[in-house]
């Protein structure tokens, strides 16, 4: 994958009863600034609810707008209490995100994961140093 070009901190909620739905928010650290990111999506074949805190290394991000899009990955999760997993997501702009996710809750899922990321156009861009993720995300 080479060197990361950006980093992403995010918090995601995942609820499933047969099909699943995910929603959350994060901050993208790119080019000396940080940007708010909205996350939605889901997968199939799951039951339960979990909260995920994630830290991602972003690869192949040349323009801010390339982070926008739908990301795909195959994911299996079994959480009762707390857990951890690593996944690689990629979109049609060639952007890859290697994410480490810390989970809590009671959730069992095996799915093709589809997440849509969108930099919040009305959000605040702030000067920032490279990310050290802290939660909650503002």
**Terminal-to-terminal C-alpha distance of the chain:** 29
Task: Evaluate whether residue 39 is within a structural domain.
Answer: yes
Q: What is the pLDDT at residue 134?
A: 67
Chain CA centroid to CA 113, Å: 11
Task: Evaluate whether residue 123 is within a structural domain.
Answer: yes
Q: Does residue 57 carry a pLDDT above 80?
A: yes
Please count the other Cβ atoms lying within 10 Å of the Cβ belonging to residue 128.
16
Please write the tens of the pLDDT for every residue from 74-132: 665 555 667 777 788 899 999 999 998 887 776 555 556 788 999 976 666 776 665 56
Task: Evaluate whether residue 133 is within a structural domain.
Answer: no
Count of domains in the chain? 1
pTM value surpassing 0.75? yes
**CATH number for the domain harbouring residue 44:** 2.40.128
CA distance 133 to 99: 12
Please write the tens of the pLDDT for every residue from 24-53: 999 999 988 889 999 998 776 666 777 888
């Amino acid at each position: 994958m080479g060197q990361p070009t950006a980093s992403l901190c995010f918090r995601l909620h995942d609820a499933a009863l047969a099909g699943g739905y995910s929603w959350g928010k994060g901050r993208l650290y790119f080019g000396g600034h940080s940007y708010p990111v909205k996350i939605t999506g889901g997968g199939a074949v799951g039951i339960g609810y979990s909260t995920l805190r994630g830290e991602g290394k972003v690869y192949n991000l040349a323009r801010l707008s390339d982070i926008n899009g739908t990301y795909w990955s195959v994911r299996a999760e079994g959480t009762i209490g707390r857990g951890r997993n690593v996944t690689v997501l990629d979109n049609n702009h060639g952007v890859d995100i290697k994410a480490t996710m810390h989970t809590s809750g009671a959730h069992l899922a095996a799915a093709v994961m589809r997440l849509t990321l969108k930099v919040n156009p009305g959000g605040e861009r702030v000067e920032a140093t490279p990310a050290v993720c802290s939660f909650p995300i503002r």
